[in-house]
């Protein structure tokens, strides 16, 4: 499946990014992979935390640590398991298999920071969110995905 850019979002700060994450949580389901791409400090982890809390419902985990050192953090939600991965420290694609992440792509909602480390294990139907920081805590977020993602994340849904 070919990925194309289908939406651009200008986040005016952390609260706006959290609002976008809550809106996206409404359409995610097991087997969805969201790749969070962008430089350090662009807002990827903040977005992931907000998305995880939204998926968990009215009683989310208070502590949602960055998986920078653990590589993977898993969470339960009413829709199933959530895997949050930070692949920054990976050095070989084979480590993705050792972590079990490639298997989780089929069964869990997966949020993956530093998706360039996935190499050949990058799921062809994944949604990529490209975070680019701007001035004053603003960020540009580009959505790249296939036609299915474009339909599921319609402009009306993400307002």
Average pLDDT over residues 39-68: 90
Paired strand residues for 115? none
- Domain chopping of the chain, boundaries: 8-141
The string of pLDDT tens digits covering residues 128-147 is 999 999 988 889 999 999 98
CA-CA distance, 53 to 120, in Å (whole number)?
30
Neighbours of 128 (CB within 10 A): 19
Highest mean pLDDT among 65-69, 109-113, 142-146: 109-113
Average pLDDT, the chain: 89
pLDDT at residue 159 above 60? no
The string of pLDDT tens digits covering residues 8-44 is 888 888 999 999 999 999 999 999 999 999 999 899 9
This prediction has a pTM of 0.91
Q: Is 61 left (phi over 0), alpha (psi -120 to 50) or beta?
A: beta
pLDDT at residue 1 above 60? no
Q: Which helix (H) or strand (E) holds 92?
A: none
Joined together, the tokens standing for residue 97 give 């298999």
- % the chain with pLDDT above 90: 61
Homologous superfamily (CATH) for 8-141: P-loop containing nucleotide triphosphate hydrolases (3.40.50.300)
Q: Binning pLDDT at 50, 70 and 90, where does residue 151 land? A: confident
């Amino acid at each position: 499946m070919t990925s194309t850019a289908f939406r651009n979002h200008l986040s005016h700060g952390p609260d706006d990014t959290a609002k976008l994450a809550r809106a996206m949580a409404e359409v995610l389901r097991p087997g969805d992979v969201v790749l969070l791409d962008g430089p350090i400090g662009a807002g990827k982890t903040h977005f992931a935390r907000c998305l995880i809390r939204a998926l968990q419902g009215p009683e989310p985990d208070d502590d949602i640590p960055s998986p920078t050192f653990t590589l993977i953090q898993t969470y339960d939600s009413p829709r199933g398991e959530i895997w949050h991965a930070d692949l920054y420290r990976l050095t070989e694609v084979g480590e993705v298999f050792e972590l079990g992440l490639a298997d989780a792509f089929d069964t869990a909602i997966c949020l993956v920071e530093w998706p360039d480390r996935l190499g050949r294990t990058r799921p062809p139907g994944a949604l990529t969110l490209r975070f680019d920081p701007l001035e004053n805590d603003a960020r540009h977020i580009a959505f790249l995905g296939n036609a299915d993602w474009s339909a599921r994340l319609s402009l009306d849904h993400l307002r």
